């Protein structure tokens, strides 16, 4: 595979471009701002799979009529700590932020909130919502499914895909400090990370993907139907064998299955990416009212963990969220790298709505 080149983009320029593209396509300024902030923060965090490279996919869905600026979320029910929101396949980032913000308010008042967001369009990096909850002083656990497209992750011991990448995120606030944010796909790699590898023209590590015959491969093209026309689609493998596969199955049922939202086993539409989210938000002050004690207990344990002797002295032991914060500092300073293929897709999507991406 030939390596493609990349160039660095200023975060502010990408935010401004994203807002311009989304408003040009018919969404309002608030929706555009929330989406731009979310996508660029994903890039800044080193999660390019969930950054501005998603815009061409959103605009493909718009062109197909599967995503429209007119779709808006609606609260189906709110009773005690329970909040159920119909996403109505509306633009995902502002839809999920509205739902999480409402759940935050419920948890701050009553100590806990249980949220089910049904059938939003792609809601982006799930850790983003754990960060939102943590900034409000709340513990959070989120489970998400991926529907509207073919299954892409094989169950343990299977040759065929049956799951989405079904991410899970947990956030724990640290009073006066940076929160712990654990966010991962239940597959060994996110599908978006395979897309980044495909666009860059690089292989993926062994043990991450099988081809359509169930054979191990390092070629990311096997999990993208458009890259292997006429061949059966391969699959990503779950992390931790039966453990990741089991978590994926639970995520599907908690987020979508119980409430009858779109599931991965239903006939996919052309270019939808539908997410449903199940979340529990908890006010830690209800568990331990003394914020200083909470801080001391968390930080003393983190210090113990980080003091473990590293296998490689150049790779210190990290806590969840450490790497993302370090990458944000670096990319805010140096810029966000986008490979040429991803950038050309963004330029084309912008041009279709009268926006010149190269001028930003």
Q: Are residues 52 and 158 in the same domain?
A: no
* pLDDT of amino acid 269: 63
Q: Are residues 105 and 140 in the same domain?
A: yes
**Residue labelled with tokens 């396509």:** 25
Domain that holds residue 274: 78-187+238-285
Q: Are residues 41 and 88 in the same domain?
A: no
User: Which residue from 235, 179, 165, 245 is spatially nearest to 207, judged by alpha carbons?
Assistant: 235
Q: Does a structural domain hold residue 315?
A: yes
pLDDT at residue 4 tops 80: no
The CATH number of the domain where 107 resides is what?
Answer: 3.30.1370.60
User: Which residue from 123, 128, 72 is spatially nearest to 274, judged by alpha carbons?
Assistant: 123
* pLDDT of amino acid 290: 98
Q: Are residues 134 and 245 in the same domain?
A: yes
Q: Are residues 136 and 264 in the same domain?
A: yes
Over range 51-58, report the average pLDDT: 96
pLDDT at residue 19 tops 80: yes
pLDDT at residue 2 tops 80: no
Q: Does a structural domain hold residue 217?
A: no
The CATH number of the domain where 329 resides is what?
Answer: 1.10.1530.10
Q: Does a structural domain hold residue 196?
A: no
Over range 7-30, report the average pLDDT: 98
Give residue-wise pLDDT tens across range 309-351.
999 999 999 999 999 999 999 999 999 999 999 999 999 999 9
* pLDDT of amino acid 272: 79
Q: Are residues 167 and 259 in the same domain?
A: yes
Over range 292-299, report the average pLDDT: 98
* pLDDT of amino acid 268: 63
Residue 157, SS3 per DSSP? coil
What average pLDDT does the chain have? 95
Q: Are residues 303 and 273 in the same domain?
A: no
Name the pLDDT band for 149 (thresholds 50, 70, 90).
confident
Q: Are residues 172 and 279 in the same domain?
A: yes
What is the model's pTM? 0.94
Q: Does a structural domain hold residue 231?
A: no
Q: Does a structural domain hold residue 258?
A: yes
User: Which residue from 167, 326, 318 is spatially nearest to 236, judged by alpha carbons?
Assistant: 167
Q: Does a structural domain hold residue 32?
A: yes
Distances (CA, A) of 106 to 100, 126, 140, 336: 10, 20, 13, 36
Over range 302-311, report the average pLDDT: 96
Give residue-wise pLDDT tens across range 64-96.
999 999 999 999 999 999 999 999 999 999 999
* pLDDT of amino acid 226: 86
Q: Are residues 45 and 155 in the same domain?
A: no
- Segment among 121-130, 185-194, 232-241, 305-314 with least mean pLDDT: 185-194
pLDDT at residue 271 tops 70: no
* pLDDT of amino acid 1: 47
Token pair, residue 267, equals: 């006939």
Helix (H) or strand (E) holding 134: helix 127-135
Q: Are residues 95 and 244 in the same domain?
A: yes
Q: Are residues 27 and 150 in the same domain?
A: no
Q: Give the chain's domain count.
A: 3
pLDDT at residue 208 tops 60: yes
DSSP calls for 267-296: PPPSS--EEEEEEEEE-GGGT---HHHHHH
Phi (first) and psi of residue 43, to 5 degrees: -60, -45
Q: Are residues 6 and 111 in the same domain?
A: no
Q: Does a structural domain hold residue 164?
A: yes
The pLDDT > 70 percentage for the chain reads: 98
Give 1 or 319, the one with higher predicted confidence: 319
* pLDDT of amino acid 270: 60
Q: Does a structural domain hold residue 221?
A: no
């Amino acid at each position: 595979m030939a390596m493609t080149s990349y160039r660095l983009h200023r975060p502010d320029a990408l935010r401004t471009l994203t807002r311009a593209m989304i408003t040009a396509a018919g969404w309002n300024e608030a929706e555009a701002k929330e989406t731009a902030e979310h996508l660029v923060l994903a890039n800044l965090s080193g999660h390019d799979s969930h950054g501005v490279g998603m815009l061409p996919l959103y605009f493909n869905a718009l062109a197909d009529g599967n995503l429209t600026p007119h779709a808006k979320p609606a609260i189906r029910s709110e009773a005690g700590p329970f909040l159920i929101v119909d996403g109505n396949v509306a633009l995902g980032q502002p839809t999920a932020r509205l739902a999480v913000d409402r759940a935050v308010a419920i948890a701050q008042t009553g100590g806990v909130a249980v949220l089910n967001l049904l059938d939003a369009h792609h809601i982006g990096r799930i850790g983003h919502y754990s960060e939102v909850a943590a900034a409000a002083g709340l513990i959070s656990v989120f489970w998400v499914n991926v529907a509207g497209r073919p299954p892409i992750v094989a169950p343990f011991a299977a040759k065929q895909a049956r799951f989405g990448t079904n991410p899970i995120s947990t956030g724990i606030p640290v009073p006066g400090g940076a929160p712990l944010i654990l966010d991962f796909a239940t597959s060994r790699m996110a599908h978006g990370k395979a897309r980044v590898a495909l666009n860059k023209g690089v292989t993926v590590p062994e043990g991450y993907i099988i081809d359509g015959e169930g054979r191990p491969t390092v070629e990311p093209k096997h999990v993208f139907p458009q890259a292997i026309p006429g061949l059966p689609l391969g699959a990503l493998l779950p992390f931790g064998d039966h453990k990741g596969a089991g978590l994926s199955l639970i995520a599907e049922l908690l987020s979508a299955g119980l409430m009858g939202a779109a599931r991965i086993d239903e006939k996919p539409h052309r270019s939808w990416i539908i997410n449903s989210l199940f979340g529990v938000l908890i006010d830690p002050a209800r568990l331990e009212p003394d914020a200083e004690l909470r801080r001391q207990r968390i930080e003393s344990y983190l210090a113990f963990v980080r003091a473990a002797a590293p296998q490689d002295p150049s790779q210190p032991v990290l806590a969840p969220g450490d790497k993302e914060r370090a990458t944000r500092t670096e990319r805010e300073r140096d810029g966000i790298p986008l490979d040429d293929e991803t950038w050309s897709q963004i330029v084309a999507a912008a041009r279709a709505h009268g926006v010149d991406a190269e001028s930003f």
